[in-house]
């Protein structure tokens, strides 16, 4: 690098560019990462790339508007709307196939935006979601350090990293395995618990995940939303290289738990919080299945009957149902907006009105979990929800629906021991008897008290990890310190348009 180039670099602003999958849960995690980086490096500018969605994964407009109003150092770059070509077709039943393809088609937008940002900034890192793996090639072309931000936990990251090894070791699909799958650092995973797109090696979605895993091995580092005391065995297996036995594992930065304080933006207390204020301490079981979790009317009625027979107080968030019993995520149309009375057993709302509250579509989950009246959480095991429960010290009933949630359930129940399982029958339905039994165990029996003690201890460990000198703060400092060394020694390439001579 010439002296002129060095002098130019020294006056340029510092930036980090984040590239999330457009699904709202992934976006929230990325924004929280950006806020965390700003806390420790206020001189940074955070740039977040926003694509349109390949499927309905929940609107992010209101959330982005809120972030823009409160965090001026976070800048959103909206890509032009990209659509799949008319001749695009796939035999894959998985919506992830569409996500990988749409993000691949956005590579020219990524190239253009990174080039534009680099005109006035030194880009310390381009941090991508694993769905955004096609953009790794752009980062390499522009010689920008590319990091993965893994928005799930280490318990799924190790499986993700180990996928190429499984692919080479076996010549059949995971759905055809007749025994649990052994992966370094976690309990054995039943084949049916593996996330659906990874079960069929001939599926297009599987190929997308496999490609993303291989590209992860070429990244500058992996940032993961977890902390050491939560998943020590999984983290150790990754750091020791056991999950990439035939390659190299990039540096791992465990900087979590990152959770959002996102809630009721209008300043008013939602009905759910007002209702909780009148309930006894630790008496309410909270049921919420994420932004996409969806059930049939039949399943909703089984949940209702189980809650009623359990005799326990409950706060239940209900989404519009689906007609397809195999649909667990609302990525396509559900039954039109129906009133609760038509979804639940006749007379249920009246019979339970003294001890239960059912709300449609949304409740401020972080605030609810932190409320002293809440004593248990029935969750789909989405990683954001898991971390929110841990930070609030609330024990869980693990009821996975889609994505990596089956992996999470196994680890929550068997490894961390901070949740009790909810088990389906052979036809995929969770019976009212199972709901009644598990709620009772969680709220009043010895099994529930054991997981309650464990999650309260883990809450303290989370606080310690995030405190000065804690493991997550040290990991973040290590990441940022590597950027400082680059800046101080000029041991980097100025991020300029592709016509610039490197």
Give the residue extent of every domain in the chain: 3-258+467-489, 271-461
Return the closest-CA partner of residue 161 out of 253, 258, 235, 255: 235
Q: How much is the pTM?
A: 0.91
- CATH superfamily assigned to domain 3-258+467-489: Glycogen Phosphorylase B; (3.40.50.2000)
Under the phi-then-psi rule, with left for phi > 0, alpha for psi from -120 to 50, and beta for the rest, what region is 33?
alpha
Q: Classify domain 271-461 by CATH number.
A: 3.40.50.2000
CB 41 within 8 A of CB 150: no
pLDDT at 482: 86
Entry field: residues in the chain: 502
State the Cα–Cα distance between residues 314 and 357, nearest whole angstrom. 6
pLDDT at 24: 84
pLDDT at 1: 52
User: Looking at residue 227, what DSSP letter applies?
Assistant: -
CB 11 within 8 A of CB 124: no
Bridge partners of 379? 288, 398
Q: Does residue 427 sit in helix, strand or coil? A: coil
Question: Residue 407: which residues within 8 A CB-CB, separation 6 or more?
Answer: 155, 156, 159, 186, 189, 193, 194, 195
Return the closest-CA partner of residue 14 out of 48, 50, 43, 35: 43
What is each CA distance from 238 to 161, 225, 245, 250, 472, in whole angstroms? Answer: 8, 14, 10, 9, 16
Q: Do domains 3-258+467-489 and 271-461 have the same CATH topology?
A: yes
CB 117 within 8 A of CB 19: no
pLDDT at 292: 82
Mean pLDDT by 10 residues, the chain (502 residues): 55 91 88 94 95 74 91 94 84 89 95 97 96 97 97 96 98 97 97 96 97 97 98 98 96 95 55 97 97 91 98 96 81 64 93 96 94 98 96 98 96 98 93 98 96 98 97 96 66 37 24
Concatenated DSSP letters of 83-149 = ---TT-------HHHHHHHHHHHTHHHHHHHHHHHTTTEEEEEEEE-GGGGGGHHHHHHHT--EEEE
């Amino acid at each position: 690098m010439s002296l002129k180039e060095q002098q130019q670099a020294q006056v340029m602003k510092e930036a980090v560019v984040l590239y999330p999958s457009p699904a709202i849960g992934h976006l929230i995690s990325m924004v929280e990462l950006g806020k965390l980086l700003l806390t420790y490096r206020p001189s940074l500018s955070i740039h977040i790339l926003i694509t349109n969605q390949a499927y309905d994964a929940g609107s992010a407009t209101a959330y982005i508007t809120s972030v823009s109003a409160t965090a001026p150092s976070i800048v959103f770059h909206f890509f032009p709307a990209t659509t799949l070509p008319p001749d695009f077709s796939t035999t894959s039943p998985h919506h992830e196939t569409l996500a990988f393809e749409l993000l691949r088609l956005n590579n020219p937008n990524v190239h253009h935006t990174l080039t534009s940002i680099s005109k006035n900034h030194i880009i310390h890192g381009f941090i991508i979601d694993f769905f955004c793996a096609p953009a790794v090639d752009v980062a390499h072309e522009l010689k920008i350090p590319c990091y993965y931000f893994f928005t799930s936990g280490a318990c799924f990251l190790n499986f993700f990293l180990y996928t190429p090894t499984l692919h080479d070791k076996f010549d059949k699909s995971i759905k055809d395995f007749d025994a649990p799958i052994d992966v370094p650092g976690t309990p054995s995973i039943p084949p049916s618990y593996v996330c659906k797109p990874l079960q069929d090696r001939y599926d297009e979605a599987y190929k997308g995940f496999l490609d993303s895993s291989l590209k992860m091995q070429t990244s500058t580092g992996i940032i993961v939303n977890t902390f050491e005391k939560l998943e020590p065995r999984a983290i150790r297996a990754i750091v020791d290289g056991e999950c990439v036995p035939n390659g190299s594992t990039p540096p791992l930065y465990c900087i979590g738990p990152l959770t959002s304080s996102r809630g009721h933006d209008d300043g008013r207390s939602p009905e759910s919080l007002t209702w909780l204020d009148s309930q006894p301490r630790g008496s309410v079981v909270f049921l919420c299945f994420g932004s996409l979790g969806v059930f049939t009317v039949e399943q909703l009625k089984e949940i209702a009957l189980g809650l009623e027979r359990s005799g326990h107080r409950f706060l239940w968030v209900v989404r519009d149902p689906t007609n397809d019993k195999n649909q667990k995520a609302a990525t396509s149309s559900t039954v039109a907006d129906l009133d609760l009375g038509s979804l639940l057993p006749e007379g249920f709302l009246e019979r339970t009105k003294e001890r239960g509250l059912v709300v449609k579509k949304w409740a401020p989950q972080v605030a609810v979990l932190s409320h002293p009246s809440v004593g248990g959480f029935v969750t789909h095991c989405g990683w954001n929800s898991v971390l929110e429960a841990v930070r609030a010290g609330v024990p869980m009933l693990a009821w996975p629906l889609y994505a990596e949630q089956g992996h999470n359930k196994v680890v929550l129940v068997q490894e961390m021991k901070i949740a009790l399982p909810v088990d389906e029958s052979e036809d995929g339905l969770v019976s009212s008897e199972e709901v009644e039994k598990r709620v009772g165990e969680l709220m009043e029996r010895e099994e529930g008290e054991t997981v309650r003690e464990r999650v309260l201890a883990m809450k303290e460990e989370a606080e310690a990890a995030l405190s000065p000198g804690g493991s997550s703060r040290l990991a973040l400092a290590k990441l940022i310190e590597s950027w400082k060394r680059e800046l101080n020694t000029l041991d980097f390439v100025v991020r300029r348009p592709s016509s610039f001579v490197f």
